[in-house]
Structures are given as C-alpha cells and as structure tokens.
C-alpha cells in the first residue's frame, strides 16, 4: 500500500497548479518566497503567478538576466500591488556570482520561508563553467548547493518552518553520480543526457543531505519531478534524435519506465502543480527529504535514495566550492 504524504490524495498527473494553490491558500499568505529560474513561460514564473493571488509577503526573482527579472517583478506588482518584490542577479554557473547573490540575500532583514531551486539547464553541448566544471553538474547542482548553503541562516530564521524545493527530474534514472569521472574526462566521455541525469541525481541526493543537516534547525527539503513540459529548458534538444537516444540509455540501464512508456506532455500548469505541493503542503512537513512526482510521493532509483551517497556528494561539493558547512540545532 502506498503511503499518503499529502493533504489531498486526489491531486495527480492532470492537476493544475491553480487547483493546488487554491487548496493551499492559507499556507501561502505572508511568506517570503525566493525562486531561481523565472524565465517567462517557465515553471518558476508560473509558480509565482499562481501563488501571487493568495498574498505572499515578498517574491524574490533570481536569475541571470536583470531586465527579464525586472519585467517579471513589474508584472506581479501590477497584478498584485500589495506584494513586495525584489530581483536578485544570480548566475548559477559562476561561484563568484552565487557568492555575491548570497551576500545580498544575507544583507536583507527578513528571513526566507521558501527557497524554490527551480533554475537549470538540460542536455547542453559540452562546455565548462567559469570555474572549470562540466556545465550541467556545475549549474544544476553545484550552483544551487553553494547558494542554498550560503543563505541557510536566512532559512533557519524563518518563523514558519522554511522549505527548500529542489527541482529534479525522472531523468535521474539516466545516471548515478559518476564518482570516478564526474567531469566526463574533460569532455572526452561526454554524453549530454548522462550528464543531465547525473545532475538530477545530484539534486535528489542534495535534498536528502539538506533534510538531515538542516532538519534540527527546522528547515524541510523536498525534490520533485515536474513532468515532461515544453519550455525553454528544452532548447538544446532534438525530439526525434533524443527520444531514440534516451531509449537506448533506458534499455542499457534497465529502465522499463523509460523505454516502454509513452511520453505524454504536460501543460505548464500541470507541470507546476507539484512545485506548489512541495512548497506548501503542510502534511509534507513530516516527510522531509522525499521526492515527489504528480503531486504525490514519487519513486527513485536506489542510487538516488542512498544516504551514504548523499553524504559523499556533500563532501565532494564542499571540496569543489572550497568551503565546509554546518549548522546548530535551532533552540
């Protein structure tokens, strides 16, 4: 029997983000919410749009493009003038940019109640971050790892129990962490989908570590798969070629859910529904660390649920960013 971990077991694949937000409206009011990756037409932007009518206190728009951030913030201010907005320039592929953005967050007076780590890249051609990391691992995992760890004190200060939501993917099935070759031999062994899979596994393992390391401080952490949605994230993909490529990997990895499944495309609002559940469902507070899919508990590959692997990745991540992190229990 599948355990019920949400307040509405009827929510599922076809549920819209608007439905979930209306159901959870009392848990939105008064919150300070920071979202990374707020490209128009994307999941992060839609999450903000559907929760805005229920009177959060502050929205913080974080991303690489300042003019785009200002436009998004302005649209919310026009629609909901009672909500304060801020913009935060943040390039997750640059540790210097991440540190600068985190310092700005730490300078603000209010705590952060919800951190939605939504930004990401997918199946990019081989390239390195400015810090010399394989781009997908460096952006999707290391960028969010460093940013979250640096602003953790702001999460701990929340009076309502902060949450971190890491947007992962069912594509974690495509690769565990490649402990002996995380960087794909400087591109010699690079495969864009295996690299994406590794970064999404990292998002999930990072969530497990956050749940453990910040749990005594009152912070909860969740990861999720939004579904397959047509957004700007897929700008580096070729549908026909990539479906064949993914099928080949799924067969090799023994993933029948990949190669036997017809890939239905969700709408933007269906894809954002699980974001809203993860960020706001009160029942989830008892299940920190879980992975969600279609608004309910999702299933993981064993390597993505391995707490030893989560700790190993944490230590590797600390080594990469050149800093260790620890937090005391909240009194």
| Residues identified as active-site | 190
Q: How many CB atoms lie within 10 A of CB 267?
A: 15
Among 271, 139, 243, which Cα is nearest to 196's? 139
Residues 6+ apart with CB under 8 A from 260: none
3-state secondary structure the chain: CCCCCCCCCCCCCCCCHHHHHHHCHHHCCCCEEEEECCCCCCHHHHHHHHHHHHCCCEEEEEECCHHHHHHHHHHHHHHCCCCEEEEEECCCCCHHHHHHHHHHHHHCCCCCCEEEECCCCCCCCCCECCCCCEHHHHHHHHHHHHHHHHCHHHHHCCCCCCEEEEECCHHHHHCCCCCCCCCHHHHCCCCHHHHHHHHHHHHHHHHHHHHHHCHHHCCEEEEEECCCECCHHHHHCCHHHHHHHHHHHHHHHCCHHHHCCCCCCECHHHHHHHHHHHHHCHHHHHHCCCEEECCEECCCCHHHCCHHHHHHHHHHHHHHHCCCCCCCCCC
């Amino acid at each position: 029997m599948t355990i019920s971990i949400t307040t509405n077991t009827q929510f599922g694949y076809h549920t819209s983000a608007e439905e979930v937000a209306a159901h959870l409206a009392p848990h939105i009011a008064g919150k300070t919410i920071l979202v990374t990756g707020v490209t128009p037409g994307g999941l992060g932007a839609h999450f903000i749009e559907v929760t805005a009518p229920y009177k959060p206190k502050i929205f913080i728009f974080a991303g690489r493009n300042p003019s785009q951030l200002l436009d998004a913030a302005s649209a919310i201010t026009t629609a909901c003038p009672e909500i304060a907005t801020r913009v935060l320039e943040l390039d997750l592929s640059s540790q210097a940019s991440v540190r600068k953005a985190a310092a700005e967050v730490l300078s603000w007076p209010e705590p952060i109640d919800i951190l939605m780590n939504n930004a990401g890249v997918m199946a990019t051609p081989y390239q390195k971050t400015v810090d010399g990391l394989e781009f997908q691992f460096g952006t999707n995992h290391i960028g969010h790892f460093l940013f979250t760890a640096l602003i953790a004190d702001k999460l701990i200060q929340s009076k309502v129990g902060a949450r971190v939501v890491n947007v992962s993917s069912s594509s974690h099935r495509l690769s565990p962490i490649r402990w002996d070759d995380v960087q794909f031999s400087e591109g010699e062994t690079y495969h864009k989908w295996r690299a994406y899979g590794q970064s999404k596994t990292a998002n999930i393992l990072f969530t497990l570590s956050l749940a453990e390391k910040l749990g005594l401080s009152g912070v909860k952490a969740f990861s999720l798969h939004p579904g397959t949605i047509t957004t700007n994230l897929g700008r580096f993909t070729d549908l026909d070629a990539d479906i064949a490529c993914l099928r080949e990997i799924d067969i090799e990895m023994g993933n029948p859910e990949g190669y036997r499944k017809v890939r239905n495309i969700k709408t933007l609002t269906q894809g954002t529904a699980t974001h809203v559940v993860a960020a706001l469902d009160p029942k989830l507070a008892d299940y920190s660390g879980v992975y969600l899919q279609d608004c309910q508990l999702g299933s993981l590959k064993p390597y993505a649920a391995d707490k030893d692997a989560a700790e190993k990745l944490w230590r590797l991540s600390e080594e990469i960013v050149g800093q260790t992190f620890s937090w005391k229990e909240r009194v």
